[in-house]
Structure 1
Amino acid sequence: MSTRLLVGGILVLLVVMGVFVWYLTGRESGKVGEVTQTPTIIAGGRQIVLLGSGATFIYPQLDAWAKEFSKRYSNVRIEYNPTGSGTGQRQFIEKVVDFAGSDPPLSKKNWEQARGDPRGVIQLPVVIGAVVMVYNIPGLEGRLKLNGEVIALIYLGEIEYWDDPRIKALNPELKLPHERIIAVHRSDSSGTTHVFTLFLYKASKGKWPKELVEKAIEWPVDKTGRGLGGKGNQGVADIVRRTAYSIGYVEYSYAILAGLPWALVENAAGRFVDATPETLAKAAEAAYPLLPQSLEDDFNEAWEDMVYPPGEDSYPITSFSFLIFYKVYPRDKAEAIRKFIEWINTEGQNYIVQGYIPIPEIVREYNLRAINIISEG
């Protein structure tokens, strides 16, 4: 065999081995064929920190986005504190943070105040998520079904036991225990509570009063001694997990992380529906036409219409979560904010956390209008 043939054979062997190793490495990581992107710097490479505060509902998704975005733009760091929607809105109005996360949009009062400020305000519906009814009923076999009226009566303190006839009527196949229901709720100002109480008002056939639709309320069930409060979605999930015969409302992804079962809930079409990516997508499709014309508009009326949406297959306790930005930032932050908004509505859709779904393309295009609104000043 000639030296030339020997060398050629060795080179071919090395190439084949290299491809094989690359394939195995890629297969193990689940990223076969994915091209690793070189980190980019913006604003001349100066270090930029964007501070945010607000909803716990959006936190798991926003945290994942922040980490991936910082890999893409290495001189930008995003720090988000899941304080609850109420605190996030307040800190945004007080200019303590660069942006806020909130399950409901800015209240009418806060929106008018922010709009009148020289920095202005825009709101982007970046995530659609679900509120699910988690429960802890030891020994229960089968999936619990609930409707808005029964859930409202539990939190009003009027339904006391799990084998109440009104619960049994929805679950004739289940053997429900004669045990007192412990109703767990949020103890902090919470957009999740606002979504939940709005659903109760719309779906309970007049049982839940309008004055109990808010981010923080006095829970009637607490007066019976059968109510418990937890801070944040995580706090509610922890109490339900530790407390036998309890029920609580949490954002979908927290239920998954906690390993808790959740109920099928009756939707506006009268069907008992599970929270799944498919039923959330149906709710998102039904909600888009309700969005206002401009990102600078008040979202309150549209947001109320989005909760308990129409549709045979729509999950009923759904909501867009919003990121709230100023229209004017210092130069470096303006560039970073524009890049972040562009990224989460394009590449960022590839990093959706379990429990959320990618927003429809038409909503992403709607959000991308913000790039031409945000300016330097």
Structure 2
Amino acid sequence: MRPLFVFLVAAAVALVGSIVFALVQVGNGREAEQLADARADVVQAVDEGRAAQESLTEQIATAEQALASTEGKVLDDAVRAELAAHVAAAKELGTVEPPAVPEAGTPGLAETADADALEAKATEWAMTMRTTSSSLVSATQEVLASNEGWQKARQDAQAKAQAEAQAKQRTAAELKEATARLTAVSAQLKISVRDARYTLDWTRSVGAPADVRAALTAQRTEGQAALGTGANMKDPASVTKLTQRREKARAAIEAAAWDARATVADGSNGRLALDTLCKVGVGPEGQDQYLRCDAARAWKKLGVAFEAKFGKPLRVEYGYRPYDWQLQALDEFGSGQVAAPGTSNHGWALAIDVPVDDGFRFGHPEYEWLAAHGPASGWEHPEWARAGGGREEPWHFEYVG
């Protein structure tokens, strides 16, 4: 029995040893597989980090170009300083070698603890490269965005300056136009105020009602007040406001003067009723000009042909001249230059004076044409007004029907 027992014990020990050996072998194989897997993870981390490191070269060049092109052209120079710091850090990291990765089972990667330490190191290295890369890209974008903001602000400032300059130009142009208009209207109002004095004196002398003369006096007083009122000559609106007041005053004086004349109209020279006349234009003094209606129709027909020939209207400087206007003209020009009040063809609304500056001078095409074609429409240049005729007025034409 004893030999058998010994055999069985020996066999059992051998079996246990085989099992232990097998278990050890299995453990060693599993550990080697784990080490290989860990090494693969480390290699992947290193490869990712290396790719990020390699991209730094191009990113650094882009960043440096951004720095060079945006100097003094960003909203906040702090972003450029931050980008410069990122560039310096990236250049330094661009030369850092990644962790060495030994073969599994060799020194440095012989145990699980080695794998964990190596993986942590490789991951940290790769993370540093990726972070540096993304930070560099982000900082570059911030600089470029700040540059775009700077450009936009500059464009806005330039646009604002241009708009302000254009506004000043418009204001200057408006002021020039408004001032010119005020000057013209003021001159016309002065004439209306002056002529109203003649109207008041004459209508009083021929018995015009006191109320119409009082109304004209009131309008003349307002005209004088308007002439005495000033404006801010640097402000187009102020100038325009005064112009409107003076124009309104002038029109009111003229309307009141016609009302006064109407009360003494008896059909004689210079005392024609306004409703028997037709308007043919506005004179340079702002006063409406009238003719007897048949003469007005003939004049307008002549004007159509004149404009077709010369490309400009046939303007009227003076037409019908009421008696008070004849009195004023006599005072201004003297008896040798105008007909005696009550004898002028202007007082019958059958004469017209045209603007000399429109070409109505002896020898000028406009004068020659009107002198030649006027008679066909009933308008003649009288002999006394012709060259060598005595008074020589190339601007004066009379309607003879």
Q: Give yes or no for TM over 0.5.
A: no
Write 1 or 2 for the structure with the bigger share of strand.
1
| Structure of greater relative contact order (alpha carbons < 8 Å, 6+ residues apart) | 1
Write 1 or 2 for the structure with the bigger share of helix.
2
TM-score, with length taken from structure 2: 0.21
Q: Which of structures 1 and 2 has the bigger CA Rg?
A: 2
